[in-house]
Amino acid sequence: MSGVQAPGAYEGAANVIAAGMLLLEFGMLRQALVRDQIRLYMAQSALISVLAIVIAADRNLPDLYALAALSAALKVVAVPLVLRRLLRRAGLDDEEMPGVAGSNTLSPATAVLAGIVLAAFGFFCFGSLGIHGPAAPALALSLAAAMVLVSFGLMIVRRDVASQAIGFLSLENAISLASLVVASGLPFLLETGFLFDLLAAVVVFGMLIRAHHARSDSLSTADLTKLQG
Amino acid sequence: MSAALPIPVIQLLQVLTIAIGAPGVTGVIATVEARLQGRRGPRIRQPYYDLAKLFRKEALAPEGASWFFLAAPLIAVTAYLTIPLLIPVLTTYGLPLGYMGDILGGGFLLSLASFVIATAALETGSPYAQLGSSRAKTFSAITEPVVLFVVFTVALLTGTDLPYALAATVRSSAGQIIRPAHLLAAAALFMVILLETGRIPVETHTGTNEFGMIEEARSFEHSGPFLALIRWGSELKQLILYTILADVFLAPWGLASTQRADAVGLAIVALLAKACAVGCVVAVIDNSFAKLRLFKITEFAAGAFLLAVLGVFTLYLGGG
């Protein structure tokens, strides 16, 4: 065996961006402070806009520039702003925004190792499907699948509504990545339609955070495990 | 036209460059770090003066320590001076002794050196030295899988695990640099280097607080020339690891491709400049992060492991 051939510069760049997004997902998994989780989410959203620009430049799809700008405005600016306001209202201090106590069910190192196992499962399952999109490389699709599973993992191992909301939002990032890879030539209207689904998710999670905080005076979901009769 | 150097001389120069340059690189890092903190800092030559001073001093051994206590620093330095024969320090072409061992061979030598020093520290019966060696072994067991996965990445990229082959692959095209596997493996290796050379965020390099010490604590009972050898050894280890990072992974340019004296001379300067550049990055990290608590170091190692494992994953799908 003489080693694996190097991908082209475009494919390499797209893969590096996708790998960076997966790493940021892992960062959210192990980060204890909600404030820093939001920052990581912003960085991840910025990366997906960069990826859209890279694909647009390489495949000559001018629609994607508009999509990149819209997605950046929404996910890098608007959503984090709304999330921060919600959390401030729920009593998390804006300066500190500490994590919700007892939110981690696993220690960070264990969570990362469990995340690696999840990522490997998603990665190799999608890899064996052998889907080759016209726009972006198969590897980026597998990375997106790994991201989906890791963000599910994030929602499962955390016991507070804020982190679960961020896990859900980054799940949307993963799906955007997959759709960019598989169907970057999708009509602009459909793409923006998917993007605005995100707003519905933000509203739902906003309601959830506020309702939960009003009922139990905390963001922790630990006391939701018992049925009340 | 300058004269061509015979191969054995170049091979010797590889070892001499590392041996003589290592304290200088440490001095540069200390100076940069001090400047960043707004201090004047020690002279760049200070590590040489320290070594010279220690070599002139009397050597003492604790009561009950066997011959191994004194032999350990010698074995360690010998191991460190063997590694420059195996890695591309000055040349792009493999020198005859360069094929004695692959990356794993170099790794074995590094572990051997750290093992004998840890064993010598155990010999002393001093609690701090024993604490240091126990911690050093614990954390090296955690970083071992990371190093293995980095080696797997290299092996998958090149089809061999010779460091020369990877450097040649990286030089061959720009596409080799911006592939996730390469970047992830290089980042994982950098984190391992921070851990192995005892830098922030793992260990304070200059502190005197014994509770946070890992590597530094092991040499507490050594004195005189033997302490000098241990100090020199850790400087050698640092420069060797920087050389592997720079000449194999990040920037394998500036190496001599011929035997001409001027090319080799330029390669020596380039290597030291690259090592100082890596050192400056390390100094910036030293100044911008706090030391991790001892039990948080596993998280740091888990992060490095994540990078290395993802590197191997991406290669398996062919696109990495």
Q: Could you read off the pLDDT of A7-40 as tens digits, one per residue?
A: 677 788 888 899 999 999 999 988 878 888 899 9
Residue A41: count of CB within 10 angstroms of its CB: 25
Nearest CB to B306; choose among A112, A138, A140: A112
Using DSSP's 3-state secondary structure scheme, residue A104 falls into strand
Q: Is the pLDDT of residue A125 over 90?
A: no
User: Which one, of B142, B278, B187, B128, lies nearest residue A19 by Cα?
Assistant: B187
d(CA B36, CA B284): 8
Do residues B245 and B186 touch, judged by C-beta distance below 8 A?
A: yes
Q: Taking CB atoms and an 8 Å cutoff, what residues of chain A touch B176? A: 6
Instruction: Give A-chain residues touching B301 at CB under 8 angstroms.
Output: 109
Q: What pLDDT, on the 0 to 100 scale, is given for residue A128?
A: 79
Checking if the pLDDT of B187 tops 50, the result is: yes
- Look at A101-105, A119-123, B141-145, B197-201 and tell me which has the smallest mean pLDDT: A101-105
Inform me whether the pLDDT recorded for A48 exceeds 50: yes
DSSP state of A105: S
Task: Name chain A contacts of B184, Cβ cutoff 8 Å.
Answer: 19
Question: What pLDDT digit, counting tens, does each position of B233-273 carry?
Answer: 999 999 999 999 998 888 888 888 888 888 999 999 999 99
| Dihedral angle over CA of A35, A37, A41, A44, nearest 10 | 130
pLDDT grade for A98, boundaries at 50, 70 and 90: low
Domain boundary assignment for chain A = 12-92+102-214
For chain B, the distance separating the N- and C-terminal CA atoms, rounded to the nearest angstrom, is 43
Residue A162 C-alpha from the chain's centroid: 14
| Closest chain A residue to the Cα of B298, Cα to Cα | A109
**Residues B87 and B184: beta-carbon distance below 8 Å:** no
Concatenate the DSSP letters of all residues of A191-227 into one string.
HHHHHHHHHHHHHHHHHHHHHHHHHHSSSB-GGGSS-
Q: Chain B closest CA to A101's CA: distance in Å?
A: 18
Percent of chain B with pLDDT strictly greater than 70: 97
Contact A150, A119 (CB under 8 A): yes
Show me where the domains of chain B are located: 7-316
Average pLDDT over residues A203-224: 80
Q: Which structure tokens are listed for A171?
A: 């799940």
Is B318–A139 a contact, with Cβ atoms under 8 angstroms apart? Answer: yes
**Largest Cα–Cα distance of chain A, in whole Å?**
67
How high does pLDDT run on average in chain B? 88
What mean pLDDT comes out for the span A189-195? 80
Find the helix or strand (DSSP H, E) in which B31 lies: helix B7-36
Q: What is the DSSP string of A65-100?
A: HHHHHHHIIIIIIIHHHHHHHHHHHTT--TTT-PPP
Query: Does the pLDDT of residue A225 top 70, yes or no?
Result: yes
Residue B223: both structure tokens together: 């004195």
Note the maximum CA span of chain B.
60
* ipTM for this prediction: 0.83
Q: How far apart are CA A94 and CA B298, in angstroms?
A: 30
Q: How far is B305 from chain A (nearest CA, A)?
A: 9
